[in-house]
């Protein structure tokens, strides 16, 4: 006979059990509840400890609830529905506005937000939640597969057959500094570059070929960057505040120059490499009208 563990019960676990049985999957439950899969795993562990029962058994296409889990579900479902009904009294006004989860680097986040606000998709049809800007290729694939993000935007990665990719645009690097820089005009020689204080934006998303070429340039210098970060906005603000130079993707220059005193520094030693920016979507969302509308807008030149 199953024995319950005594102690305080976390009533938040109710919604987890209900979602898992409703969807027959822990992964799908995480998507429905808008939480990370690890949160579902934690909830199941706590439920198993409380009821001293496995509750769910892995199956070919998800999980199968035990007899005890089904018994609990019948009672929990009523409670969960009543809670949701009570919450919907307040939330009905916002019911038509979705929250879209996107993974992109910080430059691309600003570019995406600007485009979607200008066309009215944000905030009329959805609001945006940017997540995991710095992530490895494997992490990016996993988060699309698990439903933690709806869209992934960045350089191409080797995914799986369930992840579909669409090219948005290509970009190359350019050198920028403050408009009224004390010593730099409209152009810069390799000799001057080699002695000019600089700051660096480094990211895993640029690709090994481009990084190799940039490293060849930086090796002509006797000085290292005074700071480097995966946060490009912080590095740009620092460059403008302290008369430093920095490489940035050209695509985002037009957006930045509208709000910042920034200028391009022409130089003939930057390697000309066109880097494709790609938008990735899981095939289960391929018929999602709103996501497809967002992709169409972002593809428009």
What average pLDDT score do residues 118-139 get?
Answer: 90
Q: Which of 240, 245, 250, 298 is nearest to 271 (CA)?
A: 250
Buried b (16+ CB within 10 A) or exposed e, 43-55: bbebbeebbebeb
- Strands, DSSP E only, in 105-219? 126-130, 151-154, 163-171, 173-178, 200-201
pLDDT of residue 232: 86
Residue 87 has pLDDT above 50, yes or no: yes
The model's pLDDT over 179-205, given as tens digits with 9 standing for 90+, comes to: 999 999 999 998 888 888 888 776 554
What average pLDDT score do residues 292-297 get?
Answer: 95
What is the chain's alpha carbon radius of gyration, rounded to the nearest angstrom?
25
Query: pTM value?
Result: 0.64
The separation between CA 95 and the C-alpha centre of its own chain, rounded to angstroms, equals 23
Percent of the chain surpassing pLDDT 70: 86
What average pLDDT score do residues 139-160 get?
Answer: 86
Strands 62-65, 56-59: pairing kind: antiparallel
């Amino acid at each position: 006979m199953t024995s319950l563990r005594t102690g305080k019960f976390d009533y938040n676990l109710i919604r987890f059990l209900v979602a898992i049985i409703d969807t027959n999957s822990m992964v799908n439950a995480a998507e429905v509840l808008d939480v990370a899969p690890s949160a579902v795993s934690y909830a199941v562990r706590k439920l198993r400890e409380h009821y001293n029962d496995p509750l769910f058994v892995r199956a070919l296409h998800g999980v199968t609830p035990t007899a005890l889990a089904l018994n609990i579900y019948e009672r929990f479902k009523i409670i969960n529905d009543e809670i949701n009904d009570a919450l919907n009294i307040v939330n009905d006004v916002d019911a038509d506005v979705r929250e879209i989860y996107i993974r992109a680097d910080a430059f691309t986040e600003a570019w995406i937000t600007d485009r979607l606000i200008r066309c009215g998709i944000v905030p009329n049809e959805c609001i945006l939640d940017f997540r995991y800007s710095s992530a490895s290729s494997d992490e990016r694939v996993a988060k699309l597969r698990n439903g933690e993000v709806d869209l992934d935007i960045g350089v191409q990665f080797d995914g799986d057959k369930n992840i579909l990719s669409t090219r948005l645009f290509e970009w190359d690097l350019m050198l920028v500094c403050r408009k009224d820089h004390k010593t730099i005009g409209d152009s810069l020689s390799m000799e001057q570059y080699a002695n000019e204080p600089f700051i660096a934006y480094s990211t895993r998303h640029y690709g090994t070929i481009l990084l190799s070429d940039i490293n060849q340039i930086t090796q002509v210098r006797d000085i290292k960057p005074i700071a480097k970060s995966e946060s490009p906005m912080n590095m740009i603000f620092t460059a403008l505040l302290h008369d430093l130079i920095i490489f940035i993707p050209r695509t985002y220059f037009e957006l930045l120059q509208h709000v910042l005193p920034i200028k391009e520094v022409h130089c003939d030693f930057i390697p000309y490499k066109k880097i494709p920016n790609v938008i990735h979507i899981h095939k289960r969302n391929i018929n999602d009208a709103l996501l497809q509308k967002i992709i169409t807008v972002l593809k428009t030149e």
